[in-house]
Amino acid sequence: GAGVSQSPRYKVAKRGQDVALRCDPISGHVSLFWYQQALGQGPEFLTYFQNEAQLDKSGLPSDRFFAERPEGSVSTLKIQRTQQEDSAVYLCASGPEREQYFGPGTRLTVT
Amino acid sequence: DQQVKQNSPSLSVQEGRISILNCDYTNSMFDYFLWYKKYPAEGPTFLISISSIKDKNEDGRFTVFLNKSAKHLSLHIVPSQPGDSAVYFCAGWGGYGGATNKLIFGTGTLLAVQP
């Protein structure tokens, strides 16, 4: 595709539910990043893949957060037992390491 | 520990005038600095970057200045246009390698260009 796509664009989850957020990076991009953006804040780094290898997961806020990229293209961010503080926009980016191309994000609301 | 700071949450400028957006950082190990522009309900889009070894980079109406001694950078938009109205994020990039290959963002500045 022409850009990074993410689905769903909006997700409402009840507290305690598990959610899965999908990212389709730009074709051929080796690097893939996940960021979390809370209201009124800038995006904050969660995790980074180079192909299928997860090279840095230092930003994942708890062990409820898990990301994978099994075939080196599509990535999924999974949040288990969602909490209200997980409500945020989750952004995926791909591309050359510093000039990252962002998708539109998934807005997660935990009620 | 906020490594990148944008102390002005918002800025209003008349069309045709200069917009100056400021950013301060604390991490002297950043290799590059980038500016991203974000419209509502869209992801950030890359605007312009500058290497830590340069002090100025220009691209059309956009110029970024870097003052390493002051750990300060600024984005100048001349002339400002209504379509420039958006949130602007400053970000630092730590370089290649697993632990540093990430963007560290400021909190953003909302620019409103008045017609």
- What pairs with residue B30 in β-bridges? none
Is A43 close to B31, i.e. CB distance below 8 A? Answer: no
Tens digit of each residue's pLDDT (9 = 90 or more) over B52-87 = 999 999 999 999 999 999 999 999 999 999 999 999
User: Are A46 and A58 within 8 A, CB to CB?
Assistant: no
Q: CB-based contact (8 Å) between A52 and chain B? A: no
Residue A96 token pair: 């050359």
Other Cβ atoms less than 10 A from the Cβ of A1: the count is 8
pLDDT category, B38, cuts 50, 70, 90?
A: very high
Checking if the pLDDT of A11 tops 90, the result is: yes
Tens digit of each residue's pLDDT (9 = 90 or more) over B88-98 = 999 999 877 66
Checking if the pLDDT of A1 tops 70, the result is: no
pLDDT confidence of residue B99: 66
Is B45 close to A102, i.e. CB distance below 8 A? Answer: yes
A94: nearest CA partner in chain B: B102
Is A102 close to B104, i.e. CB distance below 8 A? Answer: no
pLDDT confidence of residue A29: 93
Distance between CA atoms of residues A37 and A46, nearest Å: 10
Contacts with A53 from chain B: Cβ below 8 Å: none
Tens digit of each residue's pLDDT (9 = 90 or more) over A42-79 = 999 999 999 999 999 999 999 999 999 999 999 999 99
Tell which residue, B73, B68, B35, B32, has the closest CA to residue B50.
Answer: B32
pLDDT confidence of residue A66: 97
Q: CB-based contact (8 Å) between A55 and chain B? A: yes
> Which of A40, A98, A102 is facing B32, going by the closest CB pair?
A98
User: Are B48 and B75 within 8 A, CB to CB?
Assistant: yes
In a 13 Å sphere around the CA of B114, the CA atoms on its Cβ side amount to 4
Percent of chain A with pLDDT over 90: 92
The alpha carbon of residue B50 is apart from the nearest alpha carbon of chain A, in Å, by 11
A97: nearest CA partner in chain B: B101
Checking if the pLDDT of A98 tops 90, the result is: no
pLDDT confidence of residue B98: 61
pLDDT confidence of residue B4: 95
Is B103 close to A43, i.e. CB distance below 8 A? Answer: yes
